[in-house]
Structure 1
């Protein structure tokens, strides 16, 4: 059965939603999530604020929708980075570097996705944010798995069960890969967040060099545990 063409009303609604989100994303990228204003968006689109509420129930719903888009945009960047490299270990390195590069280029978007309740899906749009965010993690887990299965760490039974239930059963990823990926993803994310927040400035440490050193340590651990070669 052929897919039914959207009606004129539906096309107009989609266009308007896209324009609202584009205006909100501009505000976000220029000044952060705190600067996103429904009143300002309505004025820029020559519409009343009550009319805008026909498309989004409120600011929270709009920011959650943006968080979905941010997660998907980052996932796309990571997938592109992984696809440019031939060897498995090089793909892990490329994804790790792309993660930081994207965050530094889009600091406010990164903050929304990874440092607010909107991006964490704790209050809004969990049905869409969770799979969008998981797509980013799946890129990293995928390249780690391609490099070989790390030696299984002795995990507490509860943690092993949680990892398998949340990630492994659906994608058939070994628990050792899940644990390795989650630990190193967290370490890289921590450095990026500290760098974006200027928390490392007082140390006098070159943040790019520090991140590079962390990637090297991750790759060394991956080669050692998997017997992989670059």
Structure 2
């Protein structure tokens, strides 16, 4: 049973993190002074909750990674569950939607490294690997079901070794061809989202959401995944049909419609 003191402590921890998130959302630097000033707390009192600023930032990164993964793995509809290709497309749509809705949280683990935090944090690495494995396993399932056609590639020796290291680290069943493809797709996804969040499309792209869906459809379509999405409802143009229906489900609209 949680004691009153433990509840009060947790409430204070959450308040500290909430203020830190507000500061990040305002593009301000998170400092112990800025937090304690808002809370009417002394610096020594802060250290009873977090060892230092780095410990606070590490917790924020872990919280962000956990929330991100939860968004990607939220329950799918019964119709979506029947088709791995649709799950893959939808998961990437969720990827972008979460990032756009939570830019500060996304930038903590997907943007510039946080000052004072190393890359060897075991908890963060485990949470990050969980997200990577999600996509590798989804694509692997699609390939095993015959819904993913990958061109055979002859990779340079050093690159093949690097892909093999990824396979070993994440304990994947997938082959290096598939690992290469997933890295390629996630790299495109991350790049488009990063450009959108940094306002690189301003004045050039009126609808980043549509651009994202179109680019994603294109790269997935090259391997036959999109054609598997709505095989039950084929049209004259299966790619256009599949993308259109999926976009409608996620309220992605073309302005001229």
The TM-score with structure 2 as length reference comes to 0.74
SS at match of 1:118: coil
Structure (1 or 2) with the larger CA radius of gyration: 2
Q: Distance in 2 between the 1:152 and 1:168 partners?
A: 21
Deviation at 1:68, TM superposition (A): 1.3
Equivalent residues in 2 for 1:1-230 (5 A)?
14-28=10-24, 30-32=25-27, 34-80=28-74, 83-84=76-77, 85-86=80-81, 87-118=83-114, 123=118, 126-148=121-143, 150-168=150-168, 170-223=171-224, 229-230=228-229
Call closer, same or farther: CA 1:173–1:122 in 2, change over 3 Å.
farther
Q: Distance in 1 between the 2:168 and 2:212 partners?
A: 28
Aligned residues: 220
Q: Deviations over 1:59-88 (max 9, x none)?
A: 23322221111111111111116x442201
Deviation at 1:223, TM superposition (A): 1.2
Deviation at 1:192, TM superposition (A): 0.6
Other-structure match for 2:245:
none
SS at match of 1:148: helix
Asked if the contact 2:164–2:176 (Cα under 8 Å) also holds between the matched residues in 1, the reply is yes
Unaligned runs of 5+ in 1: none
RMSD: 2.9
Asked if the contact 2:61–2:108 (Cα under 8 Å) also holds between the matched residues in 1, the reply is yes
Unaligned runs of 5+ in 2: 145-149, 230-257
SS at match of 1:222: coil
Q: Distance in 2 between the 1:207 and 1:112 partners?
A: 22
Deviation at 1:103, TM superposition (A): 0.8
